[in-house]
Amino acid sequence: MDEQEYKTMETKVIHAGQEPDPLFGGVSVPIYQSSTFAFQNAEQGAARFAGREKGYIYTRIANPTIKALEDSVAALENGYGGIATSSGMSAISTVLFGLLEKGSHLISTASVYGATRVMVENILSRFDVVADFTDTSKIDNIRRLIRSETKLLFIETPANPTLVLTDIAACAQLARENNLLLVVDNTFASPIIQNPLDLGADIVIHSVTKFLNGHSDVVGGVIVPREESIYQQLRKIMPLLGGNMDPHQAWLVLRGIKTLALRVEKSQENAFKLAQFLADHPQVAWVNYPGLKSHPQHDLARRQMRGFGAMICFGLKGGYEAGKKMINSVKIATLAVSLGGVESLIQHPASMTHAGVPQKEKEQAGITDDLIRLSVGCEGFEDLKADLEQALSQV
């Protein structure tokens, strides 16, 4: 069936890119665990390399199982096509190294995933790429920083770990007016909740390690450009930089994606109730969750997201010491980094995921010492609530 005819995300996650195998009818996409593909003759090999004939050559360039995942995520994001990578970081570095030039200027959300900021500041800078990190929730902050060398605007919304939101449509308009590429890291929302390309972004990036795979057993990434020209450019760059995905990795993510809609629905329902529980708890100083009216951009969340997601951050009245006691006391939520899996995970960004970001920059980004991040999973709400309750009682 033509993908355009799938009206709902629930159908898309199960069928888009995952048609029965044309050879034997396998309902599950076969794993083409082969590094290379035989040519019938020298002419065919030459024709494939020259692009005159379609067909597979070598798995770093393309592979049928990986292609199925790329088609699936591209359909979920309404993009031209997908490019799968070995990790979310590989997706980000492929886009930035692939599209920026010596002397390019980039503007990014201050509160991005720690490794993204460290990579831009410590590695891209060696190639004379200059970056400004700012609070992109205020569009004027971005406007003020644009100069003739600015090539790319990189936003993460909701942001890791602060859950600050950035207005994607407003950024897209600003990007169009100033001839910038708008890249959105959509990892925290997942395509179930938010589709940045529909709001005018040029490229969407996912760490599929998180919600798309959803089972905390794979690391991977996907890049989805809106237009063919950028897709073709990055399609050529990815195998040159070498950050391709592996077929078995792709198959596991395809399997995870089939339940993406169900998982996100359940985990965000849990998150909504847990955020309310935390907000009412006497030990809790503050809670940031896009679904709470107290979130500074609750109205924007209602406009650009179809749900409020499964990520919560909060601080306790006793600060970091109290938070440490709490995260050492949870029994159902697991003390671990990463997010978006069926199991709830809790961590302390300032000393863990964002430990590599210098203290001053953490402060600028709102990554305070008391901030605890909770990725809410698909367990039963009563168990999760009781677990947080008992952990808070230890404080």
221 scored as a contact of ligand LCS (CB under 6 A): yes
Active-site residue flag, 60: yes
Q: How does 73-86 read in b/e, with b if 16+ C-beta sit within 10 Å?
A: bbbbbbbbbbbbbb
Which amino acid is it at 114? G
Q: How far is CA 137 from the centre of its chain?
A: 18
> Among 71, 167, 185, 370, which residue sits at the site for ligand LCS (rule: CB under 6 A)?
185
219 scored as a contact of ligand LCS (CB under 6 A): yes
154 scored as a contact of ligand LCS (CB under 6 A): no
Comparing CA positions, the residue from 219, 255, 381 lying closest to residue 310 is 381
**β-strands 284-288, 221-225 pairing:** unpaired
Least distance from C-beta 52 to ligand LCS, angstroms? 36
Least distance from C-beta 23 to ligand LCS, angstroms? 32
314 scored as a contact of ligand LCS (CB under 6 A): no
Using CB under 6 A as the criterion, what x/- string covers residues 42-81 for binding ligand LCS?
A: ----------------------------------------
> Among 13, 95, 353, 372, which residue sits at the site for ligand LCS (rule: CB under 6 A)?
353
- Beta strands, E only, the chain: 83-85, 105-109, 130-134, 150-156, 181-185, 203-207, 221-225, 284-288, 311-316, 334-335, 345-347, 372-375
Active-site residue flag, 185: yes
87 scored as a contact of ligand LCS (CB under 6 A): yes
If one counts every other C-beta atom within 10 angstroms of the C-beta of residue 156, the result is 28
Least distance from C-beta 244 to ligand LCS, angstroms? 14
Backbone angles phi and psi of 132, in degrees to 5: -120, 130
Least distance from C-beta 89 to ligand LCS, angstroms? 4
195 scored as a contact of ligand LCS (CB under 6 A): no
- The DSSP annotation for 280-292 comes to H-TTEEEEE-TTS
**304 contacts: CB under 8 Å, gap ≥ 6:** 157, 165, 167, 168, 169, 194, 199
384 scored as a contact of ligand LCS (CB under 6 A): no
Q: Out of 60, 273, 325, 385, pick the active-site residue.
A: 60
Name which of 146 and 152 has its Cβ closer to ligand LCS: 152
The region of 76-84, 238-246, 266-274, 332-340 touching ligand LCS under the rule CB under 6 A is: 332-340
Q: Out of 56, 113, 231, 289, pick the active-site residue.
A: 113
Give the integer Cα–Cα distance in Å for 90 and 98. 11
Length of the chain: 395
HSE of 254 in the Cβ direction (CA atoms, 13 Å)? 27
Name which of 221 and 291 has its Cβ closer to ligand LCS: 221
Binding site for ligand LCS (CB under 6 A): 87-89, 113, 156, 160, 185, 187-188, 207, 209, 219, 221, 337-339, 353
Show which residues are catalytic.
Answer: 60, 113, 185, 210
